[in-house]
Chains A and B, each alone.
Chain A
Amino acid sequence: MRLTKIILSFISAVAILFSMSATSFAKVVGNKIVLGAAVSLTGKYSSNGVHTQNGYNMAVDRINSMGGIKVGGKTYKFEIIYYDDESNPKRAAQLAERLISQDGVQFMLGPYSSGLTKAMAPVTEKYGVPMVEANGASRSLFTKGYKYLFAVLAPANLYLDVAIKTAVELNGGKGVKVAMAFEQDAFSQDVRLGILDAIKETGSTKVIDDKLPKELNDMAATLVKVKQMKPDVLVVSGHTKGALTAIRQIAEMKVDVPMLAMTHCDAAKLSKQHGKNSQYALCASQWHKTLTYKDNFFKDGMTYDADFNKMFGYAPPYQAAESSAALLVFKDAFERANSFDQKKVRDALAATDMQTFYGNIKFAPGGQNVSKPMVLFQVMCDAAGKCENKVVAPLKWASAKLIHPVPKWSER
């Protein structure tokens, strides 16, 4: 009995010792800069959560193997502590708290999705922990006056306004009729606000404005309305299920619309799941491998694509690319701040002005990246039915000419 007690107290003493050493081990110790990240490894965002983590890991590997980070004449290496936030905003906020107050992390990377970033930002802000995030695009993240939040991606309201502007341009500068179908979540509604702004700006009119439910798997009613109202542009945003449902039902119901623009095409693997039916769809993307941005670590998009493929066995979606870019931003900021003082690093982040393989990065006062435009690609298929995404707008990056108007179903 006494022996068990002694053993027990010994074990707990060791445990306490370990937990204390874990606390002091974190932050910046020896030659390591420890970053904290909560990503969705399980739950409904798990596929994109894994893309995010792979993107982070790839950049850590690359930066460490190419000499690390030089601060105050000493060389440091990145290390990331990961937790699984289970795709749950409450859990994400708890984990942010835990990373900061228990693990002693002083610098954070973002989670996947606007919703989770929104849950974590108040915590990092409270502790004054700089967070560079790569997967939260909702406009509301950048209007709250956060001082320690920086996003390498373009905000959600810029996702599809290019499509409206292009349609107006092709219409000889005259306004167009726009049909919209958006899911009711923070991200899609922000995309909708961007479209509304573009409609106003170009003197266009909206003829359908449907809100899609979270459990969306049938949008036949919206499409019947589209057939009746004959809009010039149909815009759909409802994550992967919105993209998949829209393409399936547009093909089945033979809905003819001159321009179809949507989000999440590459996450939904549209061209793989739907083949030729997805042809001519226009998709908003943060990044595409054919863009010609360059940096010293990943060289350019094509090289990143090849290296990522070699390391993880699949082509990188833009979620992975932007996550890798977040670490390049951190490295750059640490070196310019030449210090690990959170305030100084924050100021250095705010002054970021650089080019990465993913695009130019320069933060507005709200924390969003304002110097990288969105690109639009169009799904194009050859006669054999092999489909590819080709960048069609903005013109500077275009690798193919936009096919407009989309041929009618009866002519395909």
Chain B
Amino acid sequence: MDFLVFQYPMITVQACLDGILLGILFALIAYGMALQWGVMNIINIAQGDLVILGGYIAYFMYLYGIHPAWGVIVAPIIMYFVGIGIYKLVINKVVDRDLFISILATFGISILFMQLMNFAFGADVVLANSGYGTTMLFDSNVVLPNSKIFSAFISILFAVCLVIYMKKSKLGRAIRATAQNARAAKILGVDTEKVYAATFGINAALCGVAGALVSITFTIHPYMGLPYTIRSFMIVIVAGLGNLPGVAMSGMGLGVFEEFADYILGTEFRIGSVFLLLVLILVYRRFKLSKKREYLK
């Protein structure tokens, strides 16, 4: 136990800001997961691996001399089609089965992706340098890498665009209709098969954006996907499925929680504390989740 974080107010501010910026990025990944879960009733264990794949797209652009920030435009486009491909190959066969089957299927996809990425890109840890510099606050007592600010900004931008798209566009309305009642939507002429494919594609595209941001702010490695899956799973569990402001809030909350756990318990318990929180929340939410069906707004 170490309470340094409370002894110096500037460290507290630093921890909160770091946590919030990190949390916004997590929230973007979690939003994709919530969307898919709400519409298709699928928990995607491969979520984190899609993020890492998106990161590799930005990394390869960087290798070929293109600024990795362009990855936030290129990666989602490529990942959208990867998502559609996965849907056509695997997910459409499990989409109306129970949750357990879909977890198994996506777990399989996750392992396959890890191995394929390892095979294709090698086992080296890589990153893309944005060269964005640093913002100093409070007489340089608080430092924020601009890459983190950039990734939070882009995450918010994409989330807002998606919300507007869901409200205004035809496909968006069809997705929401399917989420509320797939059978009724089908009777009223919605091609649910198409809606499912698009939903999976949109989720993969969001992962692509997040991945590009991860490669700019952190590092990527074929086996580093799981922590992202766990975090987004947790955010969704806390926020509930149809609750976008909830996803954003719980994302930032988790980010701050992680930072403080890091300072107080030590870095070695950072990921561990997330798992512990997950168990506690699962126990707490268990009854609620099993009794109530939730819809995507």
Contact residues of A with B, CB < 8 Å?
A: 42-47, 87, 181, 184, 210-213, 215-222, 224-225, 228, 239-241, 244-245, 248-249, 252-254, 268-269, 273-275
Contacts and interface: CB of A to CB of B under 8 A. Distances in A.
Contacts of A239: 125
A253 B143 contact: yes
Nearest to B222: A44
Contacts of A43: 118, 123
A215 B263 contact: no
Nearest to A243: B125
Nearest to A247: B127
A248 B222 CA distance: 19
B98 interface: no
A274 B122 contact: no
B221 interface: yes
B22 A210 contact: no
Interface string B4-29: 10001001001100100010000000
A283 to B, nearest CB: 16
A181 B145 contact: no
A316 to B, nearest CB: 16
A252 B126 CA distance: 17
Contacts of A221: 15, 18, 259, 262-263, 267, 270
B25 to A, nearest CB: 11
Nearest to A225: B4
B223 A44 contact: yes
B240 to A, nearest CB: 27
A45 B268 contact: no
Contacts of B227: 215
Contact of A211 (B115, B129, B140, B268): B268
A211 B122 CA distance: 27
Residue of B22, B123, B127 ringed by the most chain A CB atoms within 10 A: B123
13 contacts: A44-B221, A47-B122, A184-B268, A211-B266, A212-B268, A213-B267, A218-B22, A221-B267, A222-B267, A225-B263, A244-B219, A253-B145, A269-B124
Contacts of B136: 254
Contacts of B127: 244, 248, 273
Contacts of B119: 42
Residue of B11, B119, B267 ringed by the most chain A CB atoms within 10 A: B267
Given A213-B267, A224-B14, A241 B125 contact: yes
B266 A228 contact: no
B270 A213 contact: yes
A220 B268 CA distance: 13
Interface string B144-159: 0101000000000000
B266 A254 contact: no
A210 B266 contact: yes
B134 interface: yes
B268 A240 contact: no
B295 interface: no
B263 A268 contact: no
B224 to A, nearest CB: 6
Given A248-B127, A268-B124, 12 more contacts: A42-B115, A42-B119, A44-B118, A181-B267, A213-B267, A213-B268, A217-B219, A221-B263, A221-B270, A224-B14, A254-B136, A269-B124
Interface string B101-125: 0000000000000010011001111
B126 A210 contact: no
Interface string B261-277: 01100111011100000
B111 to A, nearest CB: 12
A304 to B, nearest CB: 23
Given A215-B224, A221-B267, A249-B145, A240 B262 contact: no
A240 B125 contact: yes
Interface in B219-240: 219, 221-224, 226-227
B11 A218 contact: no
B218 interface: yes
B215 to A, nearest CB: 10
Contacts of A213: 267-268, 270-272
Contacts of A225: 4, 11, 263
Contact of B8 (A42, A212, A228, A254): A228
Nearest to A212: B267
Contacts of B271: 213, 215
* Nearest 6 interchain pairs by C-beta: A252-B145, A211-B268, A217-B218, A221-B262, A241-B125, A46-B123
Contacts of B262: 221
Contacts of A244: 125-127, 219
A363 to B, nearest CB: 31
A268 B125 CA distance: 7
A292 B211 CA distance: 45
A43 B219 CA distance: 18
A245 B15 CA distance: 18
A333 B136 CA distance: 61
